[in-house]
């Protein structure tokens, strides 16, 4: 029994060492203007792509289509009205489906960058390269700017090769941090988010084929209070960070847009808030605390 315990402890220690090799904290981001918190408003502009991949029924596909026809425009208008520079994570195929919306978001000064080609990362290396290259080039052609960030599971080596500096995935920390391959190479900044600050978790009825007992459509006021409390906790700590994940087909509904408007107003009244794009956060962190060993 003691031998088994020793083996388990050795395994835990090895896992901790692997984690240390991959992760590096950014201890004090020193937000511009003495801000106590940086708030990223991010939108995953999936439209119906994920629904198609999951072979979901027509009514679910129609939800996605609402995001491209109506929801994205409402979010752009909301962000513009508050001078919030949002990041729109956009699959390359969306450039074919909703080119006017993609171009309009970029024209308004929002960051438009990669969210995979068709909302999946192929397992085959050459096909993965093809998908990321196509998405990168399609977005650049429409927006006039090459993206440097992604919300995807694309491999670090390929991302670095194509000029990416950050990703926005997972919740290994509550603040921006550096993330490397298991061998310690190909460093990127990760801007974490969590499903507790993700609109789809609260508003999505019939989400991804879930059973009846798992359905939910939350009151927007309840969601606002939950997100407001998360904001307050980070604001009180100082050096805080919050990444709010939205979907145009979800938060583009009228009553949810009104909730977001109230939430942003409330944050502004609190003061000490920086509302940048994800790229701005990533570049600021690199300037304030470069990764140990440089960009390897």
Residue-wise burial string across 240-270, b where 16 or more C-beta atoms lie within 10 A, e elsewhere: bbbbbbbbbbbbbbeebbebbeebbeebeee
What are 244-286's pLDDT values in tens digits? 999 999 999 999 999 999 999 999 999 999 999 999 999 999 9
Instruction: Taking residues 49-65, report their average pLDDT.
Output: 71
**Which of the two residues, 64 and 160, has the higher pLDDT score?**
160
**pLDDT band at residue 182 under the 50/70/90 scheme:** confident
In the predicted model, is pLDDT for residue 6 greater than 90?
A: no
pLDDT at residue number 47: 86
In whole angstroms, what is the distance from residue 167 CA to residue 151 CA?
Answer: 6
In whole angstroms, what is the distance from residue 275 CA to residue 39 CA?
Answer: 5
**pLDDT band at residue 48 under the 50/70/90 scheme:** confident
In whole angstroms, what is the distance from residue 147 CA to residue 164 CA?
Answer: 7
pLDDT at residue number 63: 76
In whole angstroms, what is the distance from residue 151 CA to residue 155 CA?
Answer: 12
pLDDT at residue number 217: 83
pLDDT at residue number 134: 97
pLDDT at residue number 49: 78
- Closest to 47 measured CA to CA, from 110, 96, 111: 96
pLDDT at residue number 145: 97
pLDDT at residue number 117: 96
pTM over cut 0.75: yes
Residues 224-229: contacts with CB under 8 Å, at least 24 apart:
224/259, 224/262, 224/263, 226/196, 227/197, 227/263, 228/263, 228/266
């Amino acid at each position: 029994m003691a031998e088994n315990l020793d083996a388990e402890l050795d395994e835990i220690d090895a896992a901790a060492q692997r984690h240390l090799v991959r992760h590096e904290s950014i201890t004090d981001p020193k937000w511009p203007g003495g801000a106590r918190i940086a708030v990223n408003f991010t939108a995953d502009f999936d439209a119906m792509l994920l629904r198609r991949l999951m072979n979901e029924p027509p009514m679910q596909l129609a939800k996605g289509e609402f995001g491209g026809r109506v929801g994205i425009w409402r979010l752009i208008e909301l962000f513009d009205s508050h001078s919030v520079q949002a990041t729109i994570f956009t699959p390359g195929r969306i450039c074919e489906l909703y080119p006017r919306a993609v171009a309009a978001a970029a024209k308004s000064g929002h960051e438009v960058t990669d969210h995979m080609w068709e909302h999946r990362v192929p397992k085959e290396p050459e096909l993965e390269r093809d998908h990321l290259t196509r998405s990168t080039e399609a977005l650049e052609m429409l927006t006039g700017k090459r993206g440097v960030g992604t919300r995807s599971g694309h491999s670090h080596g390929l991302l670095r090769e194509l000029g990416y500096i950050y990703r926005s995935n997972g919740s290994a920390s509550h603040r921006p941090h550096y993330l490397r391959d298991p061998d310690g190479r190909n460093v990127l900044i990760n801007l974490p988010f969590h499903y507790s600050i993700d609109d789809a978790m609260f508003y999505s009825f019939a989400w991804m084929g879930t059973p009846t007992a798992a359905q939910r459509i939350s009151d927007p006021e309840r969601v606002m209070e939950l997100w407001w409390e998360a904001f307050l906790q980070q604001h009180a700590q100082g050096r805080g960070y919050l990444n709010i994940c939205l979907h145009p087909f979800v938060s583009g509904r009228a009553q949810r847009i009104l909730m977001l408007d109230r939430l942003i107003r409330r944050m502004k009244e609190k003061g000490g808030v920086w509302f940048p794009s994800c790229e701005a956060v990533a570049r600021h962190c690199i300037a304030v605390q470069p990764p140990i060993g440089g960009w390897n």
